[in-house]
């Protein structure tokens, strides 16, 4: 595969850093008078390279933002709101119809990419469209009728001024071999293609998806599995994968990775779930969970030209980390009952480490491989498993250890890397909270929010209730230590390049922390 992050890699690998928990200082509090259909526990939010804050979420009724109306259509629409570096509202755009944004990312020019799910017909409106549709997309139909379930997915691109540029949709179809049997009657709930997260790097948008049926991606297809129930009827079984589109046009769709059950299956069906993805030096690193209560067919794993096969073990959940040419299958003992509290939320690269973040209910993933014993406290617990980025070697396993009682549970709602420390927000049936992970231990965080965004020296936390959305911004003091200078000849005539702390090149850096590179000299600087 192409090396996508050569500039970032060169800058980062020239420094050795150790992380500590940043010190947050409250900067600004704001509210948006928006009426969601339901409380949104994970509002994807981000900062762009210019220090602007972009917030997303769901809304039920039209509302005013930046002196313009943000229009919806129906009871569950999605919004995109942009604030400048002084927290002044700039513009609001909407996805009018039954749509939900699952992930957001930006590029160096300030373009905004959102990925998510939708049902029926959705109008992607520009900030200046005044209610008039800019781009329209239609989702899955069953027997000629739109379903109410969010069975299809989209990736949309907005420019820095809130104008909709392009939208690519992904709509599943029934597997032809199932239709031919005459024993297959799918509903919109059974047939779906669901994007769970997106990342932007190297001129591409990467997305993870769970899917049933058949969905065309460029010149290939994502095919779900299926099961034969007592030789009476067929039903769909989900698979997961990773694909990419180019940032310029959202075209040139390519399948990057497949994690597919090889079915058909008889009465008992295995499970694939919780797909996550990240990219390092042009190599895709993905994670997922597979489980089964009975011996079954293998799972085929394909990344680029690399292929392998994994066989689920009865009564065992396999947390699998895959990388171009490397597979690490990590097993954890569990019961044969339905595994309700095992899930992955994110993969985060921190220097030479990869953090896998999620929740567990019996024993922490990778604990056996790490020669560690980490048991949950309460019904479920939050964990971070640390792997080596180069070879996916298993490091240590950590859990937050918060007891919600035997009737409570915890899930990770969002994560963000803040100056080398991982900020983790959780939701629970009884207790929710936020935590720092500094690479060695959990500690309580001083602030709580559902969605997390990190910019140059600034962090934003977004939360919502039934009547409004609140956000709070913080500045933070760098606690990175151990920066190592480059021992190489310095060329004072070499061109100067700047990168933000997310590794995105910045042509005209404004106020904030940046990485400055000139020839072989790399340093962290503060621009005022």
Selected residue with higher pLDDT from 446 and 7: 446
Average pLDDT of span 449-460:
88
The answer on pLDDT for 48 being more than 80 is yes
Higher pLDDT among residues 256 and 269, named by residue? 256
| Range picked from 52-66, 286-300, 454-468, 481-495 for highest mean pLDDT | 52-66
How many CA atoms are closer than 13 Å to the CA of 432, on its beta-carbon side? 16
Of 167, 132, 131, 138, nearest in space to 152 by CA: 138
Residue 141, φ and ψ in degrees, nearest 5? -120, 140
- pLDDT at residue number 364: 76
Q: What number is the average pLDDT over the span 214-228?
A: 91
Which range, 128-132, 212-216, 222-226, 452-456, has the best average confidence (pLDDT)?
212-216
- Per-residue pLDDT at 6: 19
Q: Quote the pLDDT of residue 335.
A: 46
Instruction: Answer with the residue of higher pLDDT: 145 or 521.
Output: 145
d(CA 30, CA 507) in angstroms, rounded, equals 30
1-5: long-range contacts at Cβ-Cβ below 8 A with a sequence spacing of 24 or more?
A: 1/282, 1/283, 1/284, 1/304, 1/324, 2/202, 2/282, 3/281, 3/282, 4/201, 4/202, 4/203, 4/204, 4/279, 4/281, 4/282, 5/201, 5/202, 5/279, 5/280, 5/281, 5/282, 5/503
Residue 285 tokens read as 């690193």
pLDDT of residue 8: 21
Beta-strand pair 353-360/381-388: antiparallel
The pLDDT, as a whole number, for residue 483 is: 42
Least confident of 14-18, 218-222, 351-355, 393-397: 14-18
For the cut 60, the answer to whether the pLDDT of residue 130 exceeds it is yes
Q: How much is the mean pLDDT over the chain? A: 81
> Residue 249, SS3?
coil
Does residue 488 carry a pLDDT above 70? no
Q: Which residue has the higher pLDDT, 76 or 80?
A: 80
The confidence score (pLDDT) of residue 263 equals 67
- Region 383-402 average pLDDT: 87
Cα–Cα distance between 465 and 39 in angstroms, integer? 5
Six-digit token pair at 291? 């489980």
Judged against a pLDDT cut of 50, whether residue 4 lies above it is answered with: no
Model pLDDT, residue 248: 96
pLDDT of res. 486: 39
Taking the C-alpha atoms of residue 454 and residue 48, their distance in angstroms, rounded to an integer, is: 9
Distances (CA, A) of 287 to 181, 258, 262, 450: 34, 11, 18, 23
The tokens of 67 are what?
């002196």
> Mean pLDDT over residues 472-484, rounded?
70
Query: 81: pLDDT confidence band, cut at 50, 70 and 90?
Result: very high
Judged against a pLDDT cut of 60, whether residue 337 lies above it is answered with no
The pLDDT assigned to 294 comes to: 65
pLDDT of 252 strictly over 90: yes
The CA–CA distances, whole Å, from 277 to 39, 52, 268, 320, 429 equal 26, 25, 28, 12, 27
Q: What is the 3-state secondary structure (H, E, C) of 155-217?
A: EEEECCCCCEEEEEEECCECCHHHHCCCCCCCCCCCCCEEEEEEEEECCEEEEEEEECCEEEE
265 burial type by CB count under 10 A (0-12 exposed, 13-18 middle, 19+ buried): buried
């Amino acid at each position: 595969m192409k090396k996508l992050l050569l500039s970032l890699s060169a800058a980062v690998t020239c420094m050795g850093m150790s992380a500590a928990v940043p010190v947050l200082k409250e900067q600004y509090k704001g509210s948006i008078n928006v009426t969601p259909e339901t409380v949104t526990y994970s509002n994807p939010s981000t900062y762009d390279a210019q220090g602007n804050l972009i917030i997303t979420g769901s809304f039920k009724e039209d509302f005013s933002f930046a002196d313009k109306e943000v229009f919806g259509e129906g009871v569950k629409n999605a919004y995109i709101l942009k604030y400048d570096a002084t927290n002044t509202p700039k513009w609001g755009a909407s996805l009018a119809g039954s749509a939900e944004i699952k992930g957001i990312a930006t590029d160096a020019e300030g373009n905004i990419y959102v990925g998510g799910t939708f049902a029926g017909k959705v109008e992607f409106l520009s900030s200046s469209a005044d209610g008039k549709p800019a781009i329209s997309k239609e989702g899955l139909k069953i027997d000629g009728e739109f379903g109410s379930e969010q069975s299809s997915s989209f990736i949309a691109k907005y420019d820095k001024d809130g104008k909709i540029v392009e939208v690519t949709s992904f709509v599943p179809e029934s597997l032809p071999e199932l239709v031919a049997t005459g024993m297959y009657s799918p509903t919109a709930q059974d047939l779906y293609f669901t994007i769970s997260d997106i990342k932007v790097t190297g001129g591409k948008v990467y997305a993870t998806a769970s899917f049933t049926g058949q969905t065309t991606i460029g010149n290939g297809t994502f095919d779900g599995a299926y099961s034969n129930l007592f030789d009476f009827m067929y039903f769909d079984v989900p698979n997961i994968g990773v694909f990419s589109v180019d940032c310029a046009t959202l075209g040139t769709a390519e399948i990057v990775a497949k994690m597919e059950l090889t079915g058909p299956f008889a009465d008992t069906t295995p499970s694939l779930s919780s797909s996550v993805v990240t990219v390092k030096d042009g190599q895709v690193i993905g994670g997922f969970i597979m489980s089964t209560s009975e011996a079954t067919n293998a799972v085929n794993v394909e990344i680029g030209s690399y292929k392998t096969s994994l066989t689920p073990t009865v009564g065992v959940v396999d947390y699998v980390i895959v990388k171009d040419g490397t597979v690490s299958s990590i097993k954890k003992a569990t019961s044969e009952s339905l595994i309700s509290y095992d899930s992955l939320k994110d993969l985060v690269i921190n220097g030479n480490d990869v953090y896998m973040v999620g929740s567990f209910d019996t024993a922490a993933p990778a604990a056996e491989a790490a020669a560690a014993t980490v048991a949950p406290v309460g019904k479920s617990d939050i964990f971070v498993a640390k792997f080596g980025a180069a070879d996916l070697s298993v490091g240590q396993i950590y859990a937050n250890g918060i007891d919600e009682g035997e009737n409570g549970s915890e899930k990770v709602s969002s994560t963000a890397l803040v100056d080398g420390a991982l900020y983790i927000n959780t939701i629970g049936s009884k207790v929710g909270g936020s935590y720092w992970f500094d690479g060695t231990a959990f500690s309580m965080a001083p602030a709580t929010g559902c969605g997390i965004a990190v910019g140059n020296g600034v962090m934003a936390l977004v939360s919502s209730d039934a009547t409004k959305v609140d956000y709070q911004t913080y500045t933070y003091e760098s606690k990175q230590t151990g920066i190592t200078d480059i021992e190489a000849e310095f060329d004072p005539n070499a061109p100067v390049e700047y990168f933000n702390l997310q590794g995105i090149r910045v042509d005209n850096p404004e106020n904030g922390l940046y990485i400055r590179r000139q020839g072989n000299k790399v340093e962290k600087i503060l621009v005022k």
